Amino acid sequence: MADGQVVRRRVRIRDVAQAAGVSVATVSNVLNNPGVVAPETLGRVQATMEDLSFVPNPLARQLRGGRTRAMGAIFLDVASPFHMEVARGMEDRLAEDGFILVVSSSDRDTEKEIGCLALFEEQGVRAILAQPTSRDHTVFERAIERGTPTVLIGPADGGEPRDRCSVHVDNVRGSGMVAAHLVAEGHRRIAFTNDRPEDRPGENRAVGVREALVEAGLDPTDALIEVQGVPDADGGEEALDQVLQMNPRPTAIACFNDYVALGVLRGLQRRGISVPDEMAVAGYDDTEFATMLGVPLTSVRMPKHQLGYAAADLMIEETEKPEEHRHRHVQFQPELVVRESTRPVRRSAARRA
Amino acid sequence: MADGQVVRRRVRIRDVAQAAGVSVATVSNVLNNPGVVAPETLGRVQATMEDLSFVPNPLARQLRGGRTRAMGAIFLDVASPFHMEVARGMEDRLAEDGFILVVSSSDRDTEKEIGCLALFEEQGVRAILAQPTSRDHTVFERAIERGTPTVLIGPADGGEPRDRCSVHVDNVRGSGMVAAHLVAEGHRRIAFTNDRPEDRPGENRAVGVREALVEAGLDPTDALIEVQGVPDADGGEEALDQVLQMNPRPTAIACFNDYVALGVLRGLQRRGISVPDEMAVAGYDDTEFATMLGVPLTSVRMPKHQLGYAAADLMIEETEKPEEHRHRHVQFQPELVVRESTRPVRRSAARRA
DNA sequence: CCTCAGTCTTGAACCGATACAATAGATCGA
DNA sequence: TCGATCTATTGTATCGGTTCAAGACTGAGG
pTM above 0.85, yes or no: no
Q: Does domain A171-302+337-352 have CATH number 3.40.50.2300?
A: yes
Where are the strands (E) in chain A, listed by range? 70-75, 100-105, 128-130, 150-153, 166-169, 190-194, 224-228, 252-255, 280-282, 299-301, 329-332, 335-337
Tell me whether A110 touches chain B (CB under 8 Å).
no
Q: Is B272 an interface residue toward A (CB < 8 Å)?
A: no
A294 inside 8 A of chain B by CB: yes
For chain A, give the percent of residues with pLDDT over 70: 92
Half-sphere exposure of B289 (CA within 13 A, CB side): 27
Average of per-residue pLDDT values in chain A: 86
Distance CA A306, CA B9 (A): 35
pLDDT of residue A353: 35
B25 CB and strand C closer than 7 A: yes
**Which nucleotides of strand C lie under 7 Å from a protein CB?**
7-12, 14-21
Confidence of residue A156 (pLDDT cuts 50, 70, 90): low
For B169 and C10, how far is CA from C1' in angstroms? 59
CB contact under 8 A, B59 and A62: yes
Q: Is the dihedral of CA A27, A31, A36, A40 positive or negative?
A: positive
The pLDDT value given to residue A287: 92
Residues of A in contact with B294 (CB under 8 A): 292-294
CB proximity under 8 Å: B 323-342 to A: 323
In this prediction, residue B53 carries a pLDDT of: 78
A7 pLDDT more than 50: no
Confirm or reject contact between B188 and chain A (CB < 8 A). Answer: no
pLDDT at residue B175, rounded to an integer: 95
Handedness of CA A41, A45, A51, A52 (dihedral sign): positive
Q: Hey, do B13-63 and B70-169+304-333 end up sharing a CATH topology, with the first three levels equal?
A: no
Among residues 201-230 of chain B, which lie with CB inside 8 Å of chain A? none
At B6 the pLDDT is 38
Of A103, A124, A142, which is closest to B104 when you measure between CB atoms?
Answer: A103
Can you give the pLDDT at residue A243? 95
* Residue range A197-217, pLDDT digits in tens: 777 778 888 999 999 999 999
Q: What per-residue confidence (pLDDT) applies to B156?
A: 63
Question: What b/e sequence results for B36-50 when a residue is b if at least 16 CB atoms lie within 10 Å of its CB, and e otherwise?
Answer: ebeeebbebbbebbe
Number of continuous H segments (helices) and E segments (strands) in chain B = 14, 12
Check residue B208 and give its pLDDT. 93
Rounded to 5°, the CA angle B311-B312-B314 comes to 65
Across the interface, do B68 and A119 touch by the CB < 8 Å criterion?
A: yes
Which residue is closest, via its CA, to the C1' of C16? A60
Quote the pLDDT of residue A345.
67
Strand C contact with A32 (CB < 7 A)? yes
A70-169+304-333 CATH, one of 3.90.1150.10, 3.40.50.2300, 3.30.70.1060, 3.40.50.1000:
3.40.50.2300
pLDDT in tens, A68-83: 778 999 999 888 888 9
B85 vs A101: CB contact, 8 Å cut-off?
no
Q: Is A288 on the interface with B (CB under 8 A)?
A: yes
Q: Looking at the complex, does the CB of residue A111 fall below 8 Å from at least one CB of chain B?
A: no
Instruction: Tell which wins on pLDDT, A329 or A10.
Output: A329
pLDDT at A272: 95
Backbone angles phi, psi at B159, to 5 degrees: -55, -150
Residues of chain B with pLDDT under 50: 1-8, 347-353
- For chain A, the domains span 13-63, 70-169+304-333, 171-302+337-352
Cα angle for residues B43, B47, B53 (degrees, 5° grid): 145
Class assignment of domain A13-63?
mainly alpha
> Looking at the complex, does the CB of residue A149 fall below 8 Å from at least one CB of chain B?
no
Side chain identity at residue B205, one-letter code:
R
Q: Which residue is closest to B77 within chain A, CA to CA?
A: A88
Do the Cβ atoms of B59 and A147 come within 8 Å? no
Q: How far is the CA of A214 from the C1' of C14 (A)?
A: 66
